[in-house]
Amino acid sequence: MRHIRFVVVMSFVFLFAAFAEGQATRTWVSGVGDDINPCSRTAPCKTFAGAISKTAKNGEINCLDPAGFGAVTITKSITIDCEDTQGSILSSGTNGVIINITDATDSKKAVKIRGISINGAVTGINGIRILAANMVNVEEVAIDGVTQHGISVEGSSQVVVKNSSIRSNGGSGINGFTADGVIDIMVTNSLLNGNGTGVTASNGTTVRLSGNTIAFNRTGLAAPTGKIISFRNNSIDGNGTNGAPTSPVAQQ
């Protein structure tokens, strides 16, 4: 009996090891892929959700061609990079990307998202919802047509948004709020237009703005219980109410 138990336990150990070894450092998705594939370059997956399960922690997912790759929940450090490939997510009725890294063994807790568009099709919830992560970089990303926030930061994190367009969303283009923690958001060279509010900084949130255009929102800036620092090179105009940074400072 002991021998049988030992064999069963060792079988699970080897199965887990085989699964871990089967995760690749780099994987690919394609509009003509299939999630039963290993997500290699020659046998790509169909969706980000299919690829992420086959991508190792701190690995990278790339897009082989322009296509919609579906909503995804990220629970480990990873990069999704579709630069120059026009990868997209159609997130009608749901969140485009949820980031929730709580694994204690994941020391970095870092996510990079680059070169994708997220289309809420008027019924999506949040474009990118950040619940738990140490660092999130969002670069050359377009977020459009969600009912709540383009980027919603809800847990302690440092977030950098660069060269992105966040437009026509029902809530804020970028929203920071945490009940217990500190959120620090840097937004550079980005466009926020047509949202309910361009940028909202609430409990525990500091937003730093440099080189952005914030226009044609119902409200430009709102900091009811947080801080918005503007480095004086932002264009904040043409909104229903422009609002004002809590602390304008000179460029360094």
DSSP string, 97-158: EEEE---TT-SS-EEEEESEEEEEEEEE--SEEEEE-SEEEEES-EEEEESS-SEEE-SSEE
Rounded CA separation 8/88 (Å): 43
Specify whether 46 is located in the same domain as 161: no
Q: Are residues 107 and 5 in the same domain?
A: no
Q: Are residues 30 and 104 in the same domain?
A: no
The per-residue pLDDT string of the chain (252 residues; one tens digit each, 9 = 90 and over) reads 455 454 444 444 333 433 444 699 999 999 999 999 999 999 999 999 999 999 999 999 999 999 999 999 999 999 999 999 989 999 999 999 999 999 999 999 999 999 999 999 999 999 999 999 999 999 999 999 999 999 999 999 999 999 999 999 999 999 999 988 999 999 999 999 999 999 999 999 999 999 999 999 999 999 999 999 999 899 999 999 999 999 978 665
Give yes or no: residues 113 and 220 share one domain: yes
Q: Are residues 44 and 122 in the same domain?
A: no
Match 């914030």 to its residue by tokens.
Answer: 214
Q: Which pLDDT belongs to residue 76? A: 98
Cα 26 to the center of its chain, rounded Å: 19
Same domain membership, residue 91 and residue 186: yes
pLDDT value, residue 15? 38
Give the Cα separation of 55 and 59 in Å (integer): 6
**Residue 219 falls inside a structural domain:** yes
Q: What is the pLDDT, as a whole number, of residue 158?
A: 98
Q: Range of 34's domain?
A: 1-57
Q: Looking at the 3D structure of the chain, how many domains does it have?
A: 2
Residue 228 lies in a domain: yes
Cross-strand partners of 106: none
Q: Tell me whether residue 138 is in a domain.
A: yes
The pLDDT value given to residue 25 = 97
Asked if 101 and 193 sit in the same domain, the reply is: yes
The rounded radius of gyration (Å) of the Cα atoms in the chain is 20
